[in-house]
Chains A and B, each alone.
Chain A
Amino acid sequence: QQQVKQSPQSLIVQKGGISIINCAYENTAFDYFPWYQQFPGKGPALLIAIRPDVSEKKEGRFTISFNKSAKQFSLHIMDSQPGDSATYFCAADSTGNQFYFGTGTSLTVIP
């Protein structure tokens, strides 16, 4: 059973546009929701993370929106750039020792 469901599987956005990736979870014990970015041939790297006591967190062009009642969270990439082309994974954790990852979204930003 997939603990964290992620959509879409792939996304194509024009340069300067907004990229939006969505995730949903069921386990209400999750209390840490990171987003990881992975380039081909590399390991995932933390992009931004949120805890459920806030509804939004912004870091530069990247924003996480969190809806605790709906058990959903999303990543917004503003002013998308070709260098943002990568695979993005949402994840969730409740204990600090077992992260559940989504299936990933392949983002392509067209110049």
Chain B
Amino acid sequence: ETGVTQSPTHLIKTRGQQVTLRCSSQSGHNTVSWYQQALGQGPQFIFQYYREEENGRGNFPPRFSGLQFPNYSSELNVNALELDDSALYLCASSSPGRRGANTGELFFGEGSRLTVL
């Protein structure tokens, strides 16, 4: 069983640039969520994709956008980068089922560390 993989692991951008982060979900999982984890903080929900449609969004501006592909892999795009976007971006996959029957467990990748200068 292949776990969640993310790329790139580290990257450095300058303010105003754009970045694309990629995620391959765990085998059998059709739902991908993206979280932003600032240094010393807990993960903050950005959005979730289920069957290629956005299925919930956190309190992030529109310059954060995403995609999910037919193979359930996903991309996170951030435009007009700001210094505060520097963080670890985590992708998590899950396989939703009936509430109560499903653990609701999120399987996280190791993240993409973005530094904005």
Check A44–B96 contact: CB distance below 8 A. Answer: no
Q: Which residue of A lies closest to B91 (CB)?
A: A43
The stretch among A12-20, A68-76, A89-97 that forms the contact with chain B is A89-97
Name the B residues within 8 Å of A110 (CB-CB): none
A97 CB to nearest chain B CB (Å) = 4
Give bound CA distance, A105 to B42, whole Å: 10
Q: Is B16 part of the binding interface, using a Cβ–Cβ cutoff of 8 Å?
A: no
Q: Is B44 part of the binding interface, using a Cβ–Cβ cutoff of 8 Å?
A: yes
**A-contacting residues, B93-114, CB 8 Å:** 96, 99-100, 102-111
| Neighbour of A46 across the interface among B35, B50, B106, CB < 8 A | B106
How many chain A residues touch the partner (CB < 8 A)? 27
Name the A residues within 8 Å of B56 (CB-CB): 95, 97-98
A93 CB to nearest chain B CB (Å) = 6
Q: Which residue of A lies closest to B6 (CB)?
A: A43
Check A104–B48 contact: CB distance below 8 A. Answer: no
**A-contacting residues, B2-33, CB 8 Å:** 4, 31, 33
A43 CB to nearest chain B CB (Å) = 3
Q: Which residue of A lies closest to B45 (CB)?
A: A98
A75 CB to nearest chain B CB (Å) = 14
Give bound CA distance, A104 to B45, whole Å: 15
Check A43–B90 contact: CB distance below 8 A. Answer: yes
Give bound CA distance, A102 to B50, whole Å: 25
Give bound CA distance, A32 to B97, whole Å: 14
Name the A residues within 8 Å of B35 (CB-CB): 99, 101
Give bound CA distance, A104 to B35, whole Å: 15
Check A32–B104 contact: CB distance below 8 A. Answer: yes
Q: Which residue of B lies closest to A89 (CB)?
A: B42
Name the B residues within 8 Å of A32 (CB-CB): 104
Q: List 5 A-B contacts (CB under 8 A).
A: A43-B109, A96-B96, A96-B99, A97-B48, A98-B48
- Identify 7 new A-B residue pairs, CB closer than 8 A, beyond the known A51-B100, A98-B45, A104-B40: A44-B106, A46-B106, A89-B42, A91-B42, A93-B104, A96-B96, A97-B31
